[in-house]
């Protein structure tokens, strides 16, 4: 029996999963779509050349700049605060990776794709809604600490990189991802969200997954992968 959101009496128990569990269950279908995007599969199969990989890193840089800018704006928010830690920050590693891949002078010259721009606009809109910001924070960072770690190993092998170029996938300050993710999920469970706000947060996570899938679609098109996605 789960005691979601507080006290439960024997007579009136309505079994509801913890919010972190609910969120995962409700969004997993969207996760699978993002995971199986053509660009992602081609990347894992070693079919994307180095320039295509660099283009993806440039999209990530714009996305994390938006996330980490909004994070600074929400630093005093009681809702967002439990989730925030410098240990997760990815902008410095993405800048370094991109500089290593294309040269420091070209870091700002790679194009941002339309889906990336839509994604960053949406993230910036979250500066007025901490729950929505957490939705985007969760979708990226918990993913980076999950499948992202495995993706990093494949990418490092495919491009023959050991550090510079793939440091995004390495969290130096998080020794053990599992306890970190458990704590993160405990913060999700403790967030002061009524059921209607929980629904809004779940909907924003689905939106975040969709935006990620859209970025993969644009990337596929940009690198000339057959069929777009």
Number of residues that bind ligand HEM (CB under 6 A): 18
What's the min distance (Å) between Cβ of 21 and ligand HEM? 8
36-55 binders of ligand HEM (CB under 6 A): 40, 44
Minimum CB distance to ligand HEM smaller for 74 or for 142: 142
138 marked ligand binding residue = yes
Contact 164, 97 (CB under 8 A): yes
CB of 8 to ligand HEM, least distance (A): 23
| Residue 120 C-beta: closest distance to ligand HEM, Å | 14
CA distance linking residue 57 with residue 101, whole number of Å: 9
- Contact status: 143 vs ligand HEM (CB under 6 A): yes
Q: Which residues ranging from 186 to 215 are in contact with ligand HEM (CB under 6 A)?
A: 209, 212
Site for ligand HEM in 144-173 (CB under 6 A): 146-147, 150-151
Rounded to whole angstroms, how far apart are CA atoms 103 and 213?
A: 28
Q: What is each CA distance from 86 to 92, 137, 171, 195, in whole angstroms?
A: 11, 13, 11, 30
- Known binder of ligand: residue 24? yes
Return d(Cα 185, Cα 44) in angstroms, integer. Answer: 28
Residues in the chain: 229
Q: What is the distance between the alpha carbons of residues 202 and 187, in angstroms, rounded to a whole number? A: 15
Q: How far apart are CA 137 and CA 129, in angstroms?
A: 12
Q: Tell whether residue 140 is a contact of ligand HEM (CB under 6 A).
A: yes
Rule CB under 6 A: which residues touch ligand HEM?
A: 23-24, 31, 34-35, 40, 44, 138-140, 142-143, 146-147, 150-151, 209, 212
């Amino acid at each position: 029996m789960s005691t979601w959101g507080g006290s439960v009496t024997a007579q009136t128990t309505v079994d509801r999963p913890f919010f972190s569990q609910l969120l995962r269950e409700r969004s997993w279908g969207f996760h699978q779509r993002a995971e199986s995007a053509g660009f992602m599969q081609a990347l894992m199969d070693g079919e994307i050349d180095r320039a295509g990989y660099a283009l993806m890193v440039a999209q990530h840089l714009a996305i994390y700049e938006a996330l980490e800018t909004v994070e600074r704006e929400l630093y005093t928010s009681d809702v967002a605060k439990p989730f925030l830690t410098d240990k997760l920050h990815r902008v410095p590693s993405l800048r370094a990776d991109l500089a290593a891949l294309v040269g420091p002078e070209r870091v700002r010259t790679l194009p941002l794709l339309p889906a990336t721009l839509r994604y960053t606009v949406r993230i910036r809109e979250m500066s007025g809604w901490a729950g929505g910001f957490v939705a985007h924070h969760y979708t990226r960072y918990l993913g980076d600490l999950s499948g992202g770690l495995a993706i990093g190993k494949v990418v490092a092998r495919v491009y023959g990189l050991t550090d510079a170029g793939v440091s995004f996938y390495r969290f130096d300050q998080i020794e053990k991802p599992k306890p970190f993710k458990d704590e993160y999920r405990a913060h999700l469970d403790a967030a002061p969200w009524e059921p209607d706000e929980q629904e809004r947060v779940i909907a924003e996570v689905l939106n975040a997954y969709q935006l990620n899938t859209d970025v993969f679609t644009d990337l596929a098109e940009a690198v000339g992968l057959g069929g777009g996605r």
